[in-house]
Structures are given as C-alpha cells and as structure tokens.
Amino acid sequence: MIKTTIVLTLILSFLGCESTKSTNLPEIKASRNEAVVVAQVDLQVGELENNTGCGSSSCMAYLKISEVKELGQSYQNDLKVGDKILTYFSFGTNGADSTTHTGLMYDLPKLKTGTRISAVIEPTGEVKGEMVYTVSLYTKL
C-alpha cells in the first residue's frame, strides 16, 4: 500500500497540479490488488465512523460504483456497477494537500455527498463484518 501511494505520488508530480483539476483521472493503471472505479460519494456512514479510529473526523464514506475501469492482476474481490462499498480515505474527505499531509505531492479536493469521483481502491479489511476498501487517490469528475 505504501509503495503504491509513493508510485502514484511520483506519477502525479510529473503530471503537475493541472491534472488534479482535470475531469479525468490521469492515466494510472491499477496495480496488484487495486481497482480503478468511477463512483458517487455518500458520506453518511453513521456509527461506523466512530468505531474505526479515523485520524480525520471524516475519512469514511460509501461509494456507489457506476463504472469499474480496471482491475489489477491480483484483484480478488468482485465489483459490479451498482455496488455500494464502504471506503476509508487515506487522506480524509475534507480535502488534502502538502500543508495538511506532509509529503503529499498532489491536491485532493473536498468531497460532499453526491460528488462523482474516479478512485483507486484496495480491499483492506472489515468493520463490523462489512468489507472496507482504502482509497489512496481520487479526483472529482
């Protein structure tokens, strides 16, 4: 996961800040156990958020999948259009940049319920029996 985040950071640093304002995710391939999806954000996670030990007050959200763009070669989980998945945002959903997260080389916009995003996700565990996916990179659409 850390290697993936570093590689994605390096790729985005070469693309420059303009790519974060684009309406399309930069050409990034899903690696190993990752997937690239287009989804709508639902920040209403209720008590789940309180039990996950989030570093940010809003780092959990549901994503409703509208497109599965790519699956990594070792991706094991079955994703379908219409699935609603619980996600943990590595850098939170309140927006992030190098001033909020040391070493972050790209800007992540603040998310609201209803926002459409393209995101790199990876299955990482369970909370109360529900599969949780980590979002390491996203862009608004």
Amino acid at 23: T
What would the pLDDT profile of 91-112 be if each residue is shown by its tens digit?
A: 888 777 777 777 777 788 888 8
Which pLDDT belongs to residue 62? 93
Mean pLDDT of 40-68: 74
Domain residue extents for the chain: 2-140
**C-alpha to C-alpha distances, 44 to 59, 76, 90, 113, 114, nearest whole angstrom:** 11, 27, 17, 8, 11
| pLDDT band of 120, cuts 50, 70, 90 | very high
Instruction: Give the residue with greater pLDDT, 117 vs 51.
Output: 117
What would the pLDDT profile of 75-94 be if each residue is shown by its tens digit?
A: 887 889 999 999 998 888 87
| Cβ-based neighbours of 21, under 8 Å, separated by 6 or more | none
Rounded Cα gap, residues 77 and 6, in angstroms: 24
